[in-house]
Chain A
Amino acid sequence: MTADSTSSSPALPSKALPAKAQRTLFQRIFEPKDIKSLSPARLVLTYTILIFWSFVVLFPLYWLLVTSFKLPIHVSGGPVYLPFIDFEPSSHAWSYIFFDLGNDTFRPYLNSLIIAFASTVLAVLFGSMAAYALTRITYRPKIMSIAAFILILAAVVISTIAAGIPWQIGLAVGAALFVLFLLTLAKRFKRSLGNNDILFWIISQRILPPVVAVLPIYVMFQQVGLLDTHLALIIVYMAVNLPIVVWLMRDFFATIPIDLEESAELDGASRLRIFLTIVMPLAKPGLAATFLLVLILSWNEYLLALFLSTADAQTMPLLVAAQNATRGPQWWYMSVLIVIMILPVIAMTALLQRFITRGLLIGAVKG
């Protein structure tokens, strides 16, 4: 790819020079080479580096698997590496997790599956709709309308809390005032925001560390009585992951030629149908990648789960952390839990990988 695109770069006046000489040293070093055409020395070097790096990547996984079969004595007695050679593997940790803990393992596991998948599906669905709207529709929210909304909302909150006005009345008056503002004064203000401002606002939700927001969120869910429920975690995970989905999907949607959608529109498709039958299938690679990323983020999330769940909605990361309890870190139990925790993610990755391909748009436009 790189070699092709560089050699066909704008024709320079030095046309007599061979294509190779026109590329910079940097480009020549990093252009991809066919592995078969490498000299033996470079082949050995390449494979050495690759094997070393594979080792770096895979060793923690190996260590995890091995540790899950160790007795406490093997862990505290100093590192042992190879089962059957260094130490006699034992399934004590596995039987403890699956039989002694039993439902106390399966419940968080099921919780994690429900919460992670539900929040991811919702985040990807709503997030990609928002991203699509932001790539295809121009929004012009007026600054003064936003300011008026915030002011009126603040006034309603203050009047209900401080002056003791019933909140239904406060809300009705506030809504009426806001509509009145939109119909009258709002016309006189011209300054407005654009799509990029909206996008920035969306991503700005991720600027604060979650620990700042977690207490207010806790209080909110306490008020509505949703603490320690699946719904609470699904809602929160969906909300925190929406900005990521919007930002990733927007780039994918931007690459889809607008001609396709205009053509479908003339063929008689409604906006929703265009989105579902034209845009979404073409955004599959992006959807798959985004889905995986968001799934992993929700699956591994710890802090929000720690605050919002206690028993019924407890998730796997909490259970893993709980193994580091009064008796000190129980590495063998943790390893078992982490091994079974990794499996669904690996399965999803294997399942979705075939969608993450390039070149889906070939043949759409141009002859």
Chain B
Amino acid sequence: MQVSLRDIRKSFGAIEVVKGLDLDVGDGEFLVLLGPSGCGKTTALRMIAGLETASAGRIYLGEQDVTDVLPKYRDIAMVFQSYALYPHMTVEDNIGYPLYLRKVDKQERAQAIREVAGKVDLTDYLDRYPRQLSGGQRQRVALARAMIRRPSLFLMDEPLSNLDAKLRGHMRTELKHLQNELGVTTIYVTHDQIEAMTLAHRVAIMKAGELQQLAPPREIYNDPANLFVAGFIGSPPMNFIEGEIAGGGFRAEGAALSCPGFSDHGKVVAGVRAEDLRVVEPNAGELQGTTYAIELTGNETLVTCQVGESLVIVKMDKDYDEKIGTAVGIALANEQVFFFDAESGTRLRPNNT
């Protein structure tokens, strides 16, 4: 089922938390709404679910305008961050509740419950109560309850955030697999960029109620639309150096990059990812600095260097070692440098393309 949002807005009192969101989600697509807390992503999701009414704008499910339709008629299933299991019902009754409401007969219902419980490994827990389950199991009950009636749209509001790190990784894989298998359009809200990058067909990044960029994960990473997206995605975060572009080159303290095709610009921010840099001999390379900290993370070493006022992180292989405070040069491994306007944060692009 396709989902379209047309300029939807939501205000609570004088505060506008969603400022005109336009979004098209394709049939069977896994779309992740990503952003820091308070960016309006959950409110947007709740408006799609019908739990909040949109202050303005229209919401379409397929061809139908559902803006003023009650949640129960929207054929949407939602997994809540808190799971929202019914504590007085067994796992079986919890999973079967949507079918019970649709008056599906008992035998058919039991059959459906078995089938969906098998998918999420809950077959042995059907007669338990939610209080007797671990966090991961509760999460799977919530998932099963959402899946059982084959809704036309899944909504998930940070469904993995209450799990421990290991389980979260596992459930992420399961989720991706299940979504692919069921082929149900899914909108997933998270503030975790790893979840967004791994799960999504496309990621919609939001900030302060506004959509920043909507693109597949690879494109978000390789071609960020603005300073916010560039800084939000990637670990370690992208390195930013403030300077200016003049005469086809970027100048900053301890940094000189050539940037052919860019016209002169006052305050700019150059962004470059840690893996696109290498530490080289002093006075070689485009940047000059001193080592500030060296961290071995296992399969690689993160070398933080002070360049002028800013700290630049360079990803080196695990054998690299150097004393702290040594003067080094930093070279660009390839030409992956992004330039942004320092004030507005918008991406600057060369004139000829």
Contacts and interface: CB of A to CB of B under 8 A. Distances in A.
Interface of A: 257, 259-260, 262-270, 273, 278, 281-282, 359-367
B109 interface: no
Interface in B121-163: 129-136, 138-139, 145, 162-163
B166 interface: no
B138 A268 contact: no
Contacts of B129: 363
B78 A266 contact: yes
Contacts of A257: 82, 84
Given A257-B84, A266-B76, A282-B88, A364 B130 contact: yes
Nearest to A267: B98
Given A363-B130, A363-B131, A270 B72 contact: yes
Contacts of B70: 265
8 contacts: A265-B71, A266-B74, A273-B101, A360-B88, A362-B131, A364-B85, A366-B162, A367-B83
B170 interface: no
Contacts of B84: 257, 259-260, 262-263, 364-365
B49 interface: yes
A262 B51 contact: yes
Nearest to B148: A267
A257 B83 CA distance: 11
Contacts of B102: 268
Contacts of B98: 267-268
Given A266-B49, A267-B145, A269-B101, A363 B132 contact: yes
A149 to B, nearest CB: 29
Contacts of A362: 87, 130-131
A359 B87 CA distance: 10
A260 B72 CA distance: 14
A260 B86 contact: yes
Nearest to B139: A367
A16 to B, nearest CB: 29
Contacts of B163: 367
A263 B76 CA distance: 10
Interface in B84-136: 84-88, 97-98, 101-102, 129-136
B87 A367 contact: no
Contacts of B134: 367
Nearest to A269: B101
Given A278-B86, A360-B87, A362-B131, A263 B78 contact: yes
B72 A268 contact: yes
B188 to A, nearest CB: 16
A271 to B, nearest CB: 9
Nearest to B88: A281
Interface in B35-93: 49-51, 70-72, 74, 76-78, 80, 82-88
A259 B83 CA distance: 8
B116 to A, nearest CB: 14
Contacts of B145: 267
B101 A363 contact: no
Q: Which of B71, B74, B145 counts the most A-chain CB atoms under 10 A from its CB? A: B71
B86 A365 contact: no
A267 B97 contact: yes
A363 B142 CA distance: 12
Contacts of B101: 267-269, 273
A278 to B, nearest CB: 6
A278 B71 CA distance: 17
Contacts of A365: 80, 82-85
Nearest to B97: A267
A364 B87 contact: yes
A246 B100 CA distance: 31
A360 B78 CA distance: 24
A273 B101 CA distance: 9
Contacts of A367: 83, 134-136, 138-139, 162-163
Q: Which of A257, A263, A361, A365 counts the most B-chain CB atoms under 10 A from its CB? A: A263
A249 B80 CA distance: 26
Contact of B71 (A259, A260, A266, A363): A266
A52 to B, nearest CB: 39
B95 to A, nearest CB: 11
A362 B132 CA distance: 9
A262 B88 CA distance: 16
Q: Which of A259, A265, A268, A278 counts the most B-chain CB atoms under 10 A from its CB? A: A268
Nearest to B77: A266
B59 to A, nearest CB: 15
A366 B82 contact: yes
A362 B133 CA distance: 11
A71 B69 CA distance: 75
Contacts of A263: 78, 80, 84
